Chains A and B, each alone.
Chain A
Amino acid sequence: MRNVYVLGTGMIKFGRYPEKTVPELGGEAALVALKDAGIAIKDVEMFACGNLYQSNAMVGQRILQQIGQTGIPVINVSNACATGSTAFREAYLAVASGMYETAMAVGVEQMGKQGLLGGAGGGDPAYSVEGKLGSGLMPAVFGQAGIEHMRKYGTKPEHFAKISVKSHKHATKNPFSQYRNEVSLEDVLNARMVAYPNTLYMCCPTGDGAAAAILVSEDKLKQLAGGRKRPKIAASVLTSDPYTERDLTFPDVSTLTRRASKLAYEKAGVGPKDIALTELHDCFATAELVHYENLGLCGDGEAGAFIDKKGGCHPDLGGFAPVNVSGGLLSKGHPLGATGVANICEVVWHLTQDERAKDRQVPNAKVGQAHVIGLGSACTVHILTV
């Protein structure tokens, strides 16, 4: 496998765009990425498109029908919340394998205001088990993940709440974020409870958005970069949930993340101490806390103390080992298919001192990582270096 670089990135502000279509949203992000890369759609040889809610509707091809039908191979990817990052990885593999010099990944989603994720499906609703045999909805699943940490280590609801305060504060510096309001610890703890211990502000919103990246080989980079520094994809890892005792009843989001993280660090030849910034999958505040340990940012059982010492906070806020300086899913938003590509955009922007991250630039960022988990389960970890 050969080296692959991110030549260009594009993202539209996450939010609500009821007046637009999914191909329009994806096409807009793709055009920004192409312009950023300094190439045109005719230069792209392969395209991987991540979208969840229209995964049977050829979103990738419809994006090309908006921005240029060049006849290239298109694959449409669906992998729960890891949809976008899996599409990015498919583009990575296409170039790393030597088959293509230039590939594009787009993640796009239009969710609208749909409330709780998950549904009863077809059949007689009398046999729907939701609420009758406990809850399989995301707030309860991730509430339990936090409660498991409370059980093991005595973690308090305040620890989870502090994560929400931190991420909201980070988002005030990110013009691409869906929400940019600050919240206090009291605001978070006193907000409406959704599924204990996650209150409203500890749950990510639904929304619409798109992000795109152009990936190139080293040869192509030399031709096109024009002296610009572009990050190398030092590791691209995808895992699924291995057998663990309770996984089929109580989804285990930790084991597959730990495995992906270990493989990614090994592949990239770096360790947690080398990571200047982490974008991780904070669909709920409880998830972020357990992933601090899963990604090795602190030791097992130390996430509470890590938070109390301002771990995860931007250095501008007196913190260290910054996590989700974009605002994270909690504030930036979580249009499912777009998330995995958007996280990588954020890391790229810090590594390249891109003006799109100027108000929240992490100083001296040479290595960054993006982690995504899709329940069901799929986990990606990408480590990028300059």
Chain B
Amino acid sequence: MAEQAQATDTGPRPIVPFLKLDPKPHLIAVKCSNCGSVFMDLKRVACSKCGSTKEKFSQVSLSDKGKVYVFSVVHQSFPGIKTPYITAIVDLPDGVSVRANLVDVDPETAQKEPKKIFDLPVEMVTHVAAKDREGHEVIAFSFKPSKN
């Protein structure tokens, strides 16, 4: 959040540091060159799997396609969050999982037929999630079923 506050442009800003908006929206992560583990927290000081320090890390761009591992349908949330919505853990082919809303799937259907959601191929999409105090559009990402 501090980073976002320091920027001087007036354009849209990503909701989290691991979402990059340019040239087109994509997720980034750090990868441990020793053991191959991938982490979404870009500022971590070492690898929690093998202990290698951050000198071993390189930044990687992640695939915008993945598969749903598990989900839940949230019916009760904070004020301003529209319910019900589907929260999902999406496995990316890069060896890391990411949490996001699953859109373009009826929550009711997901509850009735959870099997249809497991391993569902999905792709990342972005949308304006809020406006910050300085008037910038805040961009979030979610996943929707892949067309192919």
Q: Which residues of A contact B (CB under 8 A)?
A: 116, 120, 123-137, 139-140, 143-144, 147-148, 150-151, 192-197, 243, 245-246, 248-250
A195 to B4 alpha-carbon distance, docked (Å)? 32
A246 CA to B70 CA, complexed, in Å: 11
Contact B16 A133 (CB under 8 A): yes
B81 touches A130 (CB 8 A): yes
Residues of B within 8 A of A124 (CB): 1, 5, 132-133
Enumerate chain B interface residues (CB-CB to A < 8 A).
Answer: 1, 4-5, 15-16, 37, 39-41, 48-49, 69-78, 80-82, 84-85, 87-89, 91, 95-101, 110-111, 114, 118, 129-133, 138, 140-142
- Could you say which residues of chain A place their CB within 8 Å of the CB of B76? 116, 139, 194-195
Q: Which residues of A contact B15 (CB under 8 A)?
A: 126-127, 129, 132-133
Q: Which residues of A contact B71 (CB under 8 A)?
A: 144, 147
Chain B residues in 8 Å Cβ range of A250: 69-70, 89, 97, 99
Cα(A143)–Cα(B111), bound, Å: 11
* A134 contacts B39, C-beta separation under 8 Å: no
On whether the beta carbons of A130 and B77 are closer than 8 Å, the reply is: yes
Q: Is the CB of A194 within 8 A of B97?
A: no
Residue contact A246 to B141, C-beta cutoff 8 Å: no
Decide if B88 touches A134 in the complex (CB within 8 Å).
yes
Min CB gap A29→B, angstroms: 32
**Assembly CA distance A249 to B71 (angstroms):** 12
A126/B138 contact (C-beta < 8 A), A131-B85, A133-B100, A249-B97 known: yes
B75/A127 in contact, CB under 8 A? no
User: Which A residues are CB-close (under 8 A) to B72?
Assistant: 135, 139-140, 143-144, 147, 195-197
B residues in contact with A123, CB < 8 Å? 1
Q: Are A249 and B138 in contact (CB under 8 A)?
A: no
Residues in B with CB closer than 8 Å to A197 are 72, 111
Q: Smallest Cβ distance from A350 to chain B, in angstroms?
A: 35
> In the complex, what distance in Å separates the CA atom of A76 from the CA atom of B40?
33
CB distance from A128 to the nearest CB of B (A): 8
B114 touches A135 (CB 8 A): no
CB neighbours of B99 from chain A (8 A): 133-134, 136, 249-250
Nearest residue, chain A, Cβ from B50: A243
Q: Can you list 9 A-B pairs, Cβ within 8 angstroms, ordered by A?
A: A131-B74, A133-B141, A134-B101, A139-B74, A147-B70, A148-B70, A246-B89, A248-B40, A249-B97
Give the residue among A132, A192, A248 with the most B Cβ atoms within 10 A: A132
Query: Which residues of chain A come closer than 8 Å to B138, judged between CB atoms?
Result: 126-127
Taking the closest CB of chain A, its distance from the CB of B142, in whole angstroms, is 8
Residue of A nearest to B118 (CB): A151
With CB as the reference atom, state the residue of chain A lying closest to B88: A134
B1 engages A130 (CB within 8 Å): no
Question: Does the CB pair A195–B78 fall under 8 Å?
Answer: no
Separation of A135 and B78 alpha carbons in the complex (Å) = 10
Contact status A249-B132, CB under 8 Å? no
B78 cross-chain contacts in A, Cβ below 8 A: 116, 120, 128, 130-131
B101 close to A133 (CB less than 8 A): yes
| Contact between chains at B101 and A246 (CB < 8 Å) | no
Given A124-B133, A246-B69, check contact A131 B77 (CB 8 Å).
Answer: yes
CA distance A360 to B70 in the complex (A): 38
Assembled-state Cα–Cα distance A132/B129 (Å): 7
User: Bound state CA distance, A266 and B2, in angstroms?
Assistant: 48
Q: How far is the CA of A139 from the CA of B75 in the complex (A)?
A: 10
- Check A196 against B132 for contact (C-beta < 8 Å): no
Q: Which residues of A contact B80 (CB under 8 A)?
A: 131
Whole-angstrom distance between the Cβ of A342 and the nearest chain B Cβ:
26
A195 touches B73 (CB 8 A): yes
Bound CA span A195–B37, Å: 30
Identify the closest chain A residue to B5 (Cβ): A124
Q: Is the CB of B140 within 8 A of A132?
A: yes
Q: Can you name the residue of chain B whose Cβ is closest to the Cβ of A192? A: B75
